[in-house]
Amino acid sequence: MTLSSDEVTRFSDLLKAHEEQLADAWTEIAVTSLRGRLSRAELRKQIGELQRGFQAALAGGATDLDGAESAELRALLSELSNTRARQGFTATETAISVYALKEALLAILDGREVADATTLRDYVAFSSFVDRAGLFTFDSYVRAREGLIADQAEQLLELSTPVVKLWEGVVAVPLVGTLDSARAQVVMERLLQTLVDTGSPYAIIDITGVLAVDTQVAQHILKTVVAARLMGAECIISGIRPQIAQTIVALGIEFGDIATKASLADALRHVLKLTDQKRQGR
Amino acid sequence: MERVPVLKIGDILLVSIQIDMEDQVALRLQEDLADKIVATGCHGVIIDISALDIVDSFVGRTLATIASISRVLDAETVVVGMRPAVAITLVELGLSLPGIRTALNVELGMELLAQERGEDETPVVPAS
């Protein structure tokens, strides 16, 4: 629903005429929902900015929130929700900070001497404008949160898959945390690429930090081992905790002829023995 | 038609595939290699596929066939330099290229062949 030009003028006048009073009432209503996590003065500043945003948009002749005149207001709203999302406020608390304008408006309209049909229609029109603004805030809030989650997921992916060179011709991947398909893919690609780059014919996959091994995780590890074999490198799985060993057997997972060792040290010893044999065989 | 060159280095035939492996090229390589092994009497074949972006099931099978043929002619085949992306794709397709020996690069491939020959020949020494 868009505002008519008359309504825009009246809305704009109303905001201008009761600037201070409105901002105070608005802050008063919003501050209760935030339960003291934001100081009154700070909130008052934010609301003051928002109100100026509303005023500027309406003065520019904005009839709805999607037009070019409201661009600045939209920017203000999304900035508000971005900071709120990062500070850990809920979506409701963020939206209420905008919706409080309606209540504040009603209080001012109530105080008027003459209340007629126009006042009511105006209020409905204004409030639908504020509703749109509130929904926009909510959208930005969700977007900010999603961005935050995506960033964190990426950081986690980066953080948890180092491939380290353990010995001449031996690399190791200490796996930490849960191993889902996306991470398994990253681990696989990193490991194989490192094998090529360093020309190491041996790789140790250490699963000490993997909390649980199910058929899916085992499948990922097996795939990595087979891919490494195709490229001409041998993988050893190490760091199998007693509990994990029991799960592996209970699930009937077969590691076939892949060497498995209890600890990383054992795996390294195994690899060094193999390379020694090779050298003597020549 | 394009051909893949087969180079003789000492006791080893080196094949470096630098072009797209079309089916005809693969079959031609298979014939050429069989001829060359017999002609030179080499005991090792190294096929370098580090330039290949794609290894499909046909090429995979041809490589396996080449390995079998050369084994009949008393030559060991090592496929070297497979790219990670190719290996991942092959695994996802369920092709594990059985019967093919692999190494990370040509150097390691030559080491592997030398070691194989060494093992093969050791029983001969005490007997003689």
Q: What is the ipTM of this complex?
A: 0.79
Q: Is residue B111 a part of any domain in this protein? A: yes
What CATH code is assigned to A164-281? 3.30.750.24
B1 assigned to some structural domain: no
Asked whether the predicted pLDDT for residue A267 surpasses 90, the reply is yes
- Residues of B within 8 A of A223 (CB-CB) are 88, 91-92
Q: In this predicted structure, what is the pLDDT of residue A52?
A: 85
Residue in A222, A151, A70, A149 with CA at minimum distance from that of residue B94: A222
Give the least confident one: A57-66, A193-202, B20-29, B109-118: A57-66
Q: Tokens 């500043």 belong to which residue? A: A45
Q: Which of A56-65, A193-202, A254-263, B2-11 has the lowest mean pLDDT?
A: A56-65
The tens digit of pLDDT for each residue in B42-69 reads: 999 999 999 999 888 888 889 999 999 9
Structural domain count of chain B: 1
* Domain edges within chain A: 5-156, 164-281
* Percent of chain A predicted with pLDDT > 90: 18
Contact check, Cβ <8 Å, A188/B102? no
Q: Give the domain range for residue B97.
A: 6-118
Query: Would an 8 Å CB–CB cutoff place B54 in contact with chain A?
Result: no
Does B104 sit within 8 Å of A232, measured CB to CB? Answer: yes
Average pLDDT, chain A: 85
> What pLDDT shows up at residue A115?
65
Query: Closest approach of chain B CAs to the CA of A150, in angstroms?
Result: 25
Residue B56 is assigned to a structural domain of this protein: yes
Split at pLDDT 50, 70, 90, the class of A1 is low
The answer to whether B45 touches B64, Cβ cutoff 8 Å, is: no
> Measured in whole angstroms, how far is the alpha carbon of residue A20 from the centre of its chain?
37
Q: What is the pTM of this model?
A: 0.65
Q: Residue B32 maps to which CATH number?
A: 3.30.750.24
Cα distance from B18 to chain A (closest Cα, Å)?
Answer: 18
Q: Is the pLDDT of residue A237 over 50?
A: yes
Can you count the helices (H) and strands (E) in chain B? 5, 5
Q: Give the residue numbers in A contacting B (CB under 8 Å), as ranges.
A: 188-189, 192-193, 195-196, 199-201, 223, 226-233, 278, 281-282
Query: What average pLDDT score do residues A233-261 get?
Result: 89
Model confidence at A87, pLDDT cuts 50, 70, 90, reads: confident
Query: SS3 string of A72-102?
Result: HHHHHHHHHHHHHHHHCCCHHHHHHHHHHHH
Nearest Cβ partner for A192 among B80, B87, B103: B87
* pLDDT of B121: 59
Q: Check A231 against B109: CB less than 8 A apart.
A: no
Q: Which residue of B has its CA nearest to A190?
A: B84
User: How many interface pairs between A and B have CB atoms less than 8 angstroms apart?
Assistant: 71
Q: List the structure tokens of A269.
A: 């010893």
pLDDT of A85 > 90? The answer is no
Architecture of domain A5-156: Orthogonal Bundle (1.10)
Q: Under 8 Å CB-to-CB from A112, ≥6 apart: which residues?
A: A119
pLDDT for residue B128: 44
Does a structural domain hold residue B126? no
The answer to whether residue B84 sits within a structural domain is yes
- Which DSSP category does A63 fall into? S
Model confidence over A187-234: pLDDT tens digits? 888 899 999 999 999 999 999 888 888 888 888 888 999 999 999 999
CB within 8 Å: B103 and A195: no
- Put simply, the answer to whether B88 touches A192 (Cβ < 8 Å) is yes
Quote the CA–CA distance of B36 and B27 in Å, as a whole number: 14
Mean pLDDT score, A80-84: 86
Please compute the mean of the pLDDT values over residues A248-264 and round it to a whole number: 88
Pairing of strands B44-48, B12-16: parallel
> Using CA atoms, how far apart are residues A235 and B86, in angstroms rounded to an integer?
18
Is the predicted pLDDT of residue B14 greater than 90, yes or no? yes
Do residue A199 and residue B78 have CB atoms under 8 angstroms apart?
Answer: no
Tens digits of residue pLDDT in B63-92 = 999 999 999 999 999 999 999 999 998 888
Report the pLDDT value the prediction gives residue B125, as an integer from 0 to 100: 47
pLDDT on residue A58: 83
